[in-house]
Structure 1
Amino acid sequence: MHNLPKFHPKHMTWLMPLILSGIMSGSISCFNMLLNKGLIDGFLGLWLHAWSMSWMMAFPLILIVLPLVRKLLMQFVQMPPESSAK
Structure 2
Amino acid sequence: MFPAKFQAVIFAFIMSGFMAFLMSGILTFINLGWFSGFVVAWLNAYLYAHACAFPLVFVFAPLSRRLTARLIKAPGFSGN
TM-score (ref. length: structure 2): 0.79
Higher CA-based Rg: 1
Cα distance in 2 between the residues matched to 1:16 and 1:55: 13
Q: How many pairs are equivalent?
A: 76
Gaps of 5+ in 2: none
RMSD, matched Cα:
1.8
CA distance, structure 2, for counterparts of residue 45 and residue 73 of structure 1 = 37
Structure 1 gaps of 5+ residues are 1-5, 82-86
Query: Could you tell me the percent identity over the aligned residues?
Result: 30
Give matches, 1:53-72, under 5 Å. Answer: 53-72=48-67
Q: Which has the higher helix share?
A: 2
* TM-score normalized with structure 1 length: 0.75
2: CA distance, partners of 1:8 / 1:19: 16
